[in-house]
Amino acid sequence: MEHPGCAEKTCFHCALPVPPGAHYQVIIEDVPREMCCRGCQAVAQTIVDNGLADYYRHRTAMPGAGHEVVPEELQKLALYDHPGIQKSFVRQEGEHVKEASLILEGITCAACIWLNERHLKQLRGVLQVQVNYANHRARITWDDQVIQLSKILEEIQLLGYNAHPFSAERQENLRRQRRAKDLRRIAIAGLSAGQVMMLAVALYAGAAFGMEDSTAALLRYLSLLLTLPVVFYAALPFYQSAWHALLGRRLNMDVPVSLAVISAFAGSVWATFQGQGVVYYDAITMFSLFLLSSRLLERSAQEKSVEAAENLLKLAPAMAIRVVDDQHLPVLVLELNEGDTILAKPGESIAADAEVIEGRSTVDEALLTGESRPVPKSPGAAVIAGSINLEGPLLLRVTGVGENTVLAGIVRLLDRAVAEKPRLAQLADRVAGHFTVILLILTVLVGAAWWWVEPGRAFETVLAVLVVTCPCALSLAAPTAFAAAGSHLLRHGILLTRGHGLETLAKVNHVVFDKTGTLTYGKPVLQRTIQLAELDENRCMALAASLEKTSEHPLAQSFLVRVARPELVPVQEAQNLPGKGVSGIIGGVRYTLGSSALSGLPAAALPGELPAGSTLVWLCDERRALAVFVLSDSLRPQARELVARLKAAEVRVSMLSGDAEDAVSHVAAEAGIEAWQAALRPEDKLNALRELQRRGNVVAMVGDGINDAPVLAGADVSIAMGGGTQVARASSDIVLLTENLLDIQLALQTGHASMAVMRQNFAWAIVYNVLALPFAALGMVPPWLAAIGMSASSLVVVMNALRLR
């Protein structure tokens, strides 16, 4: 169907432009639709043939481009039927019933889930399909006698999605079980609390207006019955934690909590059997319910940040294609060794850290860095396990597997950051510990005082004091804020590798930059093109890129990234002239690209001034020079804005560089940095840094992570540009995975925000406890109100921390 008003046709399936001359049609709901490629056509046809065309009406986001569905791609899936391979991710449910946990790639909206679930359920032998919208995980149960796993995977692929096994399943299972257990405890506490509260109202009313003793006794016994599961099941984690603390001769907040629950229960049971005195079943159940709920909230906030790390590990595929004597053999990634040659097909994720031997392609490292710009790779370049090969097949030599991959390194760094408690959190723990001691002493004093004044109310008051002053909010204040801020940063590609990072960031008032590789790219980038003949700039660029296509010189990349693949023209007799440049015949004309001496032509005069330290590359045909490309190491585009923003935030900025003075002053002027020093050795840099610190500055050092290691270590907080493969080696507190300089500003902001939230949390927790204690001690707070107050204060703290995300 032609749309007269629409100049450019877009693919109905994936919304990419339809290339001119392409003719792939699918009739969807009686309307023929144009597709951009055979892949999209096949996917769309599968969707329509299975009566799932509704997908197109309901989708809210476009899927990825249809993958070319090639037979050998499907062949590899057959390997997943092998029992040995299935062992790691398939569970035997019944005699022939199996359950697998899969990661679905390509889920962009809720319609995708519907599509997958509907389609797979239609298959004979598939018993159950569940796709989780939040983490894109699918759990599929099937009958082994009727259908094979490879067939299911194939069907998913035919829909245009990619399913692969999820091997971290055991860990996931553990987490699921723990969450289920927590939920069960909360359910028990909630149900009991509701019933007990109802009975408590009746008892209070009875106390006020008179009630037969036998009825009151009945209500009390029933309350006791309903409280039993709370005290003996739901509240178990409190006792366990308190017991562990006591064994280690420590006090934690669960000690007063357990004391309160057990003594209140004991007192109430005694009162129930005696038939006189006050019962506190309502307070016990409510207290447990609220406390359990706020703990669950806190834990899920923290698990979010752990999950981010685990999702990284899941990026690595389970299968790879090993190339031995030109034979392609699918093998498990676990069986790969360093030095093996593997093939990465376009659209697949790369199985191990490796070096490109053959082929040219772009690679998506977005899941690692958060940035979706494809990174060009040519022979000699390093690729990272888990990144996705986008364009052409790459032949790779494995340089790192398993624990030795960059991916594993990042996860280790993350683990370290999580394991290290920030100073403030340590302080909070200590304060909470002291607070508990003071609280227990105070409770005894208050109890003694009441015992002396009015023994009948002593027990009630002691309970209220124990409950209302529980330092839960105090202990939650720091960890929740850190967890929320950490996962916020990671989502933006900022990796926090040390626990104290955020805390120090908030205090930073001076940022020191290195020049090369930090404020600049650290490699030559095409600055401008000077035309010397009538050929236009794009044509010159296309010619240069085509000539450089076969070159391995680092300069070649700066041309290739500028030109789209289809624009490249075929080159005959391509020649690499090491140290000089390249030459080749295009359309019958011999072109050369390289130094001015290469063509043998007299150097043409160059108009205008050229920036210092730039490299000139000449494009010449047989008779004359056509163009000159000016390349130099340029300032990153965000550098200027970052400096301006930092200054606006009243953070001083300076630059320390080992380069020559004129190059440094040029970059400093361009970035807007007034304070700079050039020609420094690493120890000079360190001294300059120390001098700044001596003058009372809290200094953040931004470097490229490897060359600057000693200087970085000397700074209060160090930030490394960690793009690509250096991440794991970076010895800094914070790594910018995206290499986007503005992230520094974001990190500083997040540091300030998390400190602000933490201060609010501490202030709230302390004010609450200090205010509530006298009222409770004076017997003005009944135990049930104490329970509400304590839980509300913890909830406020958790909610406040979640604002950071």
Partner 1 sequence: MTAILIYLLGMALVMVIVAGIGIFWAIKSGQFEDLEGPAQRILMDDDDPRIPRYSDSRSNR
By CB under 8 A, name the binding residues for partner 1: 49-51, 54, 58, 109-111, 113-114, 118, 122, 130-134, 176, 179-180, 183-184, 187-188, 191-192, 194-195, 198, 212, 214-215, 218-219, 222, 225-226
Q: How far is the CB of 220 from partner 1 (least distance, A)?
A: 12
Q: How far apart are CA 559 and CA 562, in angstroms?
A: 5
Q: How far apart are CA 16 and CA 47, in angstroms?
A: 18
According to DSSP, the residues that pair with 27 across neighbouring strands are 32
Q: How far apart are CA 390 and CA 239, in angstroms?
A: 54
Q: How far apart are CA 728 and CA 409, in angstroms?
A: 5
Closest to 631 measured CA to CA, from 745, 528, 752? 528
Q: How far apart are CA 445 and CA 437, in angstroms?
A: 12
Please list, in sequence order, all residues whose beta carbon lies within 8 angstroms of the beta carbon of residue 201, skipping any fewer than 6 positions away.
Answer: none
Cα 530 from chain centre: 43
Q: How far is the CB of 137 from partner 1 (least distance, A)?
A: 9
Give, in degrees to the nearest 5, the angle at Cα 523 between 522 and 527. Answer: 115
Catalytic residue of the set 182, 514, 633, 659: 514
Of 114 and 451, nearer to partner 1 (C-beta) is 114
Are the CB atoms for 702 and 712 separated by under 8 Å? Answer: no
Q: How far is the CB of 740 from partner 1 (least distance, A)?
A: 29
Closest to 153 measured CA to CA, from 203, 95, 90, 238? 90
Of 169 and 548, nearer to partner 1 (C-beta) is 169
Cα 114 from chain centre: 26
> DSSP string spanning 20-50?
TT--EEEEETTEEEEESSHHHHHHHHHHHHT
State yes or no: is 514 an active-site residue: yes
Q: How far is the CB of 187 from partner 1 (least distance, A)?
A: 4
Of 59 and 523, nearer to partner 1 (C-beta) is 59
Of 218 and 427, nearer to partner 1 (C-beta) is 218
Of 193 and 439, nearer to partner 1 (C-beta) is 193
Please list, in sequence order, all residues whose beta carbon lies within 8 angstroms of the beta carbon of residue 586, skipping any fewer than 6 positions away.
Answer: 543, 546, 547, 569, 570, 571, 572
Q: How far is the CB of 743 from partner 1 (least distance, A)?
A: 28
Of 180 and 767, nearer to partner 1 (C-beta) is 180
> DSSP string spanning 118-159?
HHHHHSTTEEEEEE-TTT-EEEEEEETTT--HHHHHHHHHHT
Q: How far is the CB of 801 from partner 1 (least distance, A)?
A: 19
For 425-463, give the secondary structure using H, E and C.
HHHHHHHHHHHHHHHHHHHHHHHHHHHHHCHHHHHHHHH
- To which H or E segment does residue 541 belong? helix 537-548
Residues 717-735: b if buried by 16+ CB within 10 A, e if exposed: bbbbbbbbbbbbebbbbbb
Q: Determine the length of the chain.
A: 805
Of 50 and 341, nearer to partner 1 (C-beta) is 50
Of 97 and 222, nearer to partner 1 (C-beta) is 222
Crossing angle of helices 742-777 and 472-491, in 10° steps, is 170
Q: How far is the CB of 101 from partner 1 (least distance, A)?
A: 12
Q: How far is the CB of 277 from partner 1 (least distance, A)?
A: 22
Of 99 and 391, nearer to partner 1 (C-beta) is 99
Q: How far is the CB of 222 from partner 1 (least distance, A)?
A: 6
- To which H or E segment does residue 184 belong? helix 169-209
Q: How far apart are CA 414 and CA 717, in angstroms?
A: 16
Q: How far apart are CA 340 and CA 361, in angstroms?
A: 20
CA atoms within 13 A on the CB side of 70: 9
Q: Output DSSP code: residue 509.
A: -
Give, in degrees to the nearest 5, the angle at Cα 247 between 243 and 253. Answer: 50
Q: How far is the CB of 198 from partner 1 (least distance, A)?
A: 8
Q: How far is the CB of 139 from partner 1 (least distance, A)?
A: 8
Of 110 and 269, nearer to partner 1 (C-beta) is 110
Of 284 and 642, nearer to partner 1 (C-beta) is 284
Q: How far is the CB of 202 from partner 1 (least distance, A)?
A: 10
Please list, in sequence order, all residues whose beta carbon lies within 8 angstroms of the beta carbon of residue 66, skipping any fewer than 6 positions away.
Answer: 13, 14, 35, 37, 38, 39, 40, 41, 42, 43, 44, 160
Q: How far apart are CA 713 and CA 690, in angstroms?
A: 11
Of 143 and 641, nearer to partner 1 (C-beta) is 143
- Residue numbers annotated as active site: 514
